[in-house]
């Protein structure tokens, strides 16, 4: 083996050693950049750039408050999101399967779905009796449309031969939707659920900036108002971690439910 081949083999071996750890390496590189930026650059307002050590100390000190805020946020997120998943999936399957309902509802969906859900927040807060109900409504609206659109697309794409086979087996319309259309649409539904969950977190934190007494969004806003930037950045990082864990849990459920999809 010549020197060039030896170097190529060494490079391949090095790449294999880091395979599967690319995400960890990226976070490590970002942490190093953060440390260098906050300690070595001549920043105009250094207080706005807390170091990683200061931020993580603030995160540790604020953990009880953040856990309490997480519970408050999830009391809004979970009901709104679950309701959006259930109704979005069911109504999407109906609209995607029944042609006359599709023709009736599709124009409305094309108008309503693209509206940014954040525009509903001030009106929902003014309209609903409590902030929690209004925030649940906003989360529901934001998560509903991705689930509905993907469920309808999945139901509409079910091969025609499945319907013919269901007819031969004597399935009624309800049984056909339950035993054929719903399983066939599940990959699309889970895709919509992932998008809907990300939107639900965004809308939740934005809504909490408007009128919440506690919660993840309120935590960030409160310490930003008092210029406590280490706690503010800690709240942002913590919210990102909660979102990541929630998305990972949904992905785990998806892989367990859709075990036949690889």
pLDDT digits (tens, 9 = 90+) for 51-70: 888 889 999 999 999 999 99
Average pLDDT over residues 126-147: 90
Determine the Cα–Cα distance for residues 220 and 69; give it in Å rounded to an integer: 11
Residue 13: pLDDT band (50, 70, 90) is low
Highest mean pLDDT among 165-174, 206-215, 232-241: 232-241
Average pLDDT over residues 197-206: 92
Average pLDDT over residues 199-219: 87
What pLDDT sits at residue 116? 86
In this predicted structure, the answer to whether residue 79 has a pLDDT above a threshold of 90 is: yes
Measured CA to CA in angstroms, residue 176 lies from 93, 180, 183 at distances of 11, 5, 10
In this predicted structure, the answer to whether residue 175 has a pLDDT above a threshold of 70 is: yes
Backbone angles phi, psi at 116, to 5 degrees: -60, 125
Residue 93: pLDDT band (50, 70, 90) is very high
| The two three-digit tokens of residue 130, written as one number | 């409590």
pLDDT digits 0-9 by tens, 235-260: 999 999 999 999 999 999 999 988 77
What pLDDT sits at residue 231? 92
What pLDDT sits at residue 6? 52
Average pLDDT over residues 147-162: 89
Determine the Cα–Cα distance for residues 206 and 196; give it in Å rounded to an integer: 15
Of the chain, the percentage scoring pLDDT greater than 70 comes to 91
Q: Is 118 left (phi over 0), alpha (psi -120 to 50) or beta?
A: alpha
In this predicted structure, the answer to whether residue 21 has a pLDDT above a threshold of 70 is: no
Least confident of 11-25, 64-78, 215-229: 11-25
Mean pLDDT for the chain overall: 85
In this predicted structure, the answer to whether residue 221 has a pLDDT above a threshold of 60 is: yes
246 within 8 A of 67, measured Cβ to Cβ: no
What are the boundaries of each domain within the chain? 1-42, 51-257
| The two three-digit tokens of residue 52, written as one number | 């990683």
Q: Is 45 left (phi over 0), alpha (psi -120 to 50) or beta?
A: beta
What pLDDT sits at residue 261? 66
Q: How far apart are the first and last CA of the chain?
A: 39
Least confident of 3-7, 143-147, 239-243, 245-249: 3-7
Determine the Cα–Cα distance for residues 104 and 70; give it in Å rounded to an integer: 40
CATH of domain 51-257: 1.10.3720.10
Q: Which residues of 84-94 are buried (b: 16+ CB within 10 A; e: fewer)?
A: bbeebbebbbb
Measured CA to CA in angstroms, residue 120 lies from 9, 79, 204, 218, 228 at distances of 58, 18, 12, 18, 30
Give pTM, 2 decimals: 0.85
Least confident of 185-194, 222-231, 237-246: 222-231
């Amino acid at each position: 083996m010549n020197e060039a081949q030896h170097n190529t083999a060494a490079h391949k071996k090095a790449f294999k050693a880091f395979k599967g750890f690319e995400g960890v390496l990226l976070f490590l590189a970002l942490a190093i950049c953060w440390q260098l930026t906050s300690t070595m650059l001549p920043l105009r307002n250094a207080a706005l750039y807390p170091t990683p050590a200061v931020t993580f100390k603030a995160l540790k000190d604020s953990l009880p408050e953040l856990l309490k805020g997480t519970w408050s946020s999830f009391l809004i997120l979970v009901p709104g999101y679950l309701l959006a998943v259930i109704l979005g999936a069911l109504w999407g399957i109906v609209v995607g399967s029944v042609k006359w309902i599709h023709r009736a509802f599709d124009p409305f969906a094309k108008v309503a779905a693209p509206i940014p859900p954040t525009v509903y927040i001030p009106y929902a807060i003014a309209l609903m009796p409590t902030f929690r109900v209004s925030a649940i409504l906003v989360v529901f609206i934001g998560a509903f449309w991705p689930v509905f659109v993907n469920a309808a697309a999945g139901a509409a794409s079910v091969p025609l031969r499945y319907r013919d086979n269901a007819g031969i087996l004597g399935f009624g319309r309800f049984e056909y939707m339950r035993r054929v259309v719903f399983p066939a649409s599940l990959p699309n539904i889970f895709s919509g659920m992932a998008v809907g969950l990300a939107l639900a977190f965004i809308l939740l934190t934005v809504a909490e900036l408007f009128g919440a007494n506690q919660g993840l969004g309120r935590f960030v806003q409160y310490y930003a108002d008092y210029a406590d930037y280490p706690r503010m950045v800690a709240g942002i990082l913590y919210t990102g971690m909660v979102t990541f864990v929630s998305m990972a849990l949904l992905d785990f459920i998806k892989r367990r439910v859709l075990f036949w999809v690889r």
